[in-house]
Amino acid sequence: MKLHTYPTAPNPRRVHLYLAEKGLDVPCETVDIMTRQNRTPEFMAKRNPLGGLPVLELDDGSHIAESVAICRYFEVLHPEPPLFGTSAEEQGRIEMWSRRIELNVARPVGMVWVHGSPFTKGVVGKQLPEAAEQNRGIVKSAYRFLDESLAQSGGFIAGDAFSIADILALTTIDFAAGLVEIPLDPELRELNAWHERVSKRPSVQQHPAAAPR
Ligand SMILES: N[C@@H](CCC(=O)N[C@@H](CS)C(=O)NCC(=O)O)C(=O)O
């Protein structure tokens, strides 16, 4: 088994945080996104036709891509501590929040990144500054929603226990603040307090976000 990864990028970082929370040690091979090693015809044919990282190579030579799918694979093999919930209610709630983070935060952050950053000029055919601005607003309102929701929750994104939803939120927010120039507004007190709290976890200390450029 081998994890093909670029540890500081937000989607691979999800898996590294997840594995660290579980205490699992998986052999890793770094694939350099900067020089587009994940986009070579060989990598795409052999590992992931969509080119994205991370990709988990299994012992039989097959592959599982998609960060959350990789975490789910490990969750079945190593259910403790549960990061996707155990009861029907916990699982439903964690999934609800994970979908909200993916669709309402990570996706618009990605849009600001591809349409608004000088580092991604070559990624989309033509950058649309209006798309970047519109999505920046969507991210800000999603952050307000998270802030209000955290005031009602038990301290974590999906309730009173750390879960995959916290991992998705943290990696997205750190990426947005570090590389996409969407800082956390200090007025969002609950969200900032949550961020400070989860950032102290050993898993996060072990796998910090990419340094801002
Ligand atoms: N939905 C995928 C997204 C994978 C993805 O886009 N990964 C980024 C790194 S955060 C990547 O490989 N970017 C470089 C590229 O697509 O060429 C997942 O959750 O794993």
Entry pTM: 0.97
Ligand 1: centre distance to CA 84 (Å): 21
pLDDT, average across residues 119-134: 91
Short-list 50, 27, 26, 22, CA closest to 38: 50
pLDDT, average across residues 150-155: 94
Short-list 19, 12, 17, CA closest to 75: 19
The answer to whether position 83 is within a domain reads: no
Are 107 and 194 members of one domain?
Answer: yes
Short-list 108, 170, 98, CA closest to 136: 108
Residue that is last in its domain, among 77, 99, 123: 77
pLDDT, average across residues 171-198: 97
Are 150 and 185 members of one domain?
Answer: yes
Q: For the chain, what is the mean pLDDT?
A: 97
Residues 44-62 have pLDDT tens digits of: 999 999 999 999 999 999 9
Report d(CA 213, CA 210) in Å as an integer. Answer: 9
pLDDT, average across residues 57-72: 98
Residues 83-112 have pLDDT tens digits of: 999 999 999 999 999 999 999 999 999 999
Is any atom of ligand 1 closer than 6 Å to the C-beta of 67? yes
Residue 68's Cβ-side half-sphere holds a number of Cα atoms within 13 Å equal to 16
Residues 109-124 have pLDDT tens digits of: 999 999 999 989 878 8
Is any atom of ligand 1 closer than 6 Å to the C-beta of 210? no
Q: 212 pLDDT exceeds 80? A: no
The answer to whether position 70 is within a domain reads: yes
Are 103 and 12 members of one domain?
Answer: no
Closest approach atom of ligand 1 to CA 65 = 20
